[in-house]
Structure 1
């Protein structure tokens, strides 16, 4: 993009294999509203040579990062040690992207891009993320993670914040931030000291299987989380795309009214 913004996702060989999560992810960009052009700005980070080769057969912008561990898993759940390590490894890599002068939209590969969310990103703010942080209930926040999508602008504030999270992970390896939303809440005093602008998006527009959105017409992205296998995840992500296609069909009589999602069907059942 003109302002050195890239879209970043991460896959391993299981997610990148033919007919798996990555294929459905790319399909969502191709059929989404205003999303196909964004494929030119999508950088796919792979965590193994096999995943890299699979990625290169499907997408022109693939980057192999061999030091990224652990591997992804469909059933990577909140509260599991590997999940916390995954979040920290991801944030450390994203810090390197920021230090190179690139802003980014990070998206999990199991997020369906149905409409372009770029218009929701305020260009002067440092971080834009779908979160509900107005509740004082920390348990409630942990049960409502970010929806697999967030934007970070390469600024002095964002770089210092990600550096702080990296240092915090070294000093306190047993502390458990469940998501970037959780990181922001835990670090709110540091954020006030450093200074910066964070925009919180309405989670109604950025859906997830953990708390399914009720209306196709309101959703920009849909995150296939809360799933205990890759096969179940792929099945339900395909349901999301089918519902979207039906919603957008010229002959559809539901395009102006509420249409509920069929997913999750096999996930979170």
Structure 2
């Protein structure tokens, strides 16, 4: 695995909102078939890192490569190049963001049919396969209001997978869920990891990160303060700020 070229390369990424510098010299690699988990306190910049990987937030500088598509954000990026870059990854958000007037299977079909211009029959068969994969085949014809929050999030995961991305991005996928629904979503993500999907996940679920991550990045104040294998970063951290963060998360009382 260590000899495999990275699927994702992030080098020197910077991002500001107005006068506020949010990200400073963010650099890391992600190898194919691995899971990278990003942790950090609220406001640290971790979600902004994730959004720059899909160009939902356009970086002010730095280079990001996903597979054969590279974008140098310091030189200006054309719309066509940006579209090709965005097509390399699929994003799952905190909120489900499903189309309320479309059924579960229609939500999953939307991207392949509208964006990728795939035949409807092919897209429908693929959507049903993906809904089966996330345990929702029997909910295919139900609307979002008929589904629980966890079920809606699983439809969101299927929708992202339907675009056949090289890289899956998860932005705190369980943060909007009731506690009893968290496990069903984490189980789906764990299954994707076992299938060899390449993923970058922002989460506060530290014990989940210990189970699925190949590497963990701790971001604070827009900087990667510590990185490494979960057994090192999460159980034997060197940075005092990370030790404080983990203590607060794992032992809140």
The normalised TM-score by structure 2 is 0.30
- Judging by fraction of residues, say which structure has more strand: 2
Bigger relative CO (Cα 8 Å, ≥ 6 apart): 2
